[in-house]
Amino acid sequence: MPQPPLLPQETLVRVLRLARFDGTGSLVLGGMFALGAAAAHDIPFAAIGLLAAGAGAIELHGAALLRQGERRGMNWLVASQPFLLLVILTYCALRLWLVEIPPLPESLQGLFAVNAQQWGLSVRDYQHLLNRITMLAVATVALGFQGGMMIYYLQRRRSVAQALKNEAEIDAHNDV
């Protein structure tokens, strides 16, 4: 037997909980990434970290607006997701364009040589291939996650609006 739909109030609580968790995560991780890149004097990647932190701040702002009874908070939650996706895809593009292959530790040199030989590549070409595969994986996961978050928020707009309307009616009734 299927579950009945959630009450609008419960949907609002869940949306706020998720937005607070996801927004805080983006803010903290983006900030840490920016600090690490800035410490290494890596300006493009420091900017990417700041933009990711900004996406988290946008999401937290949307949650704050919802807590204040503002329906437009959902617009901020939805908008934060494609913005963060764009930031992540830009990161992947920069990592492909500005490839920096670190030197291999001695303990991994043999493993990389064997794997590169199996693919018919030099070790350097093998490292470049791994970089492309990694960036493709990051972009794919980001597309799925941020897209899923955007759909999640979009599907709950009506229910959240109803919950905010109910709260406003209760507040108006209590003020009388």
pLDDT of residue 112: 85
Tell which residue, 67, 68, 58, has the closest CA to residue 150: 58
Task: Report the pLDDT value the prediction gives residue 4, as an integer from 0 to 100.
Answer: 82
| DSSP 3-state percent helix, strand, coil across the chain (nearest 5) | 85, 0, 15
**Could you tell me the pLDDT band of residue 98, with boundaries at 50, 70 and 90?**
confident
The amino acid sitting at 70 is E
Whether pLDDT at 176 is above 60: no
pLDDT of res. 135: 97
How far, in Å, CA of 32 to CA of 50, rounded? Answer: 9
DSSP codes of every residue in 60-119: HHHHHHHHTT-TTHHHHHHHHHHHHHHHHHHHHHHHHHS---PPPPHHHHHHHHHHHHHH
* Domains of the chain by residue range: 8-99+149-175
Q: What is the average pLDDT across 150-167? A: 94
pLDDT in tens, 73-95: 999 999 999 999 999 999 999 99
Percent of the chain with pLDDT over 90: 77
Q: What are phi and psi of 99, to 5 degrees?
A: -70, 125
pLDDT at 173: 67
159 pLDDT more than 70: yes
For residues 87-108, average pLDDT: 89
Q: Please report the pLDDT score of residue 167 as a whole number.
A: 83
Largest CA distance in the chain: 80
114/120 Cα distance (integer angstroms): 10
Q: Output the pLDDT for position 101.
A: 80
Residue 71 half-sphere exposure toward CB, CA atoms < 13 A: 14
Tokens 């030197």 correspond to: 103
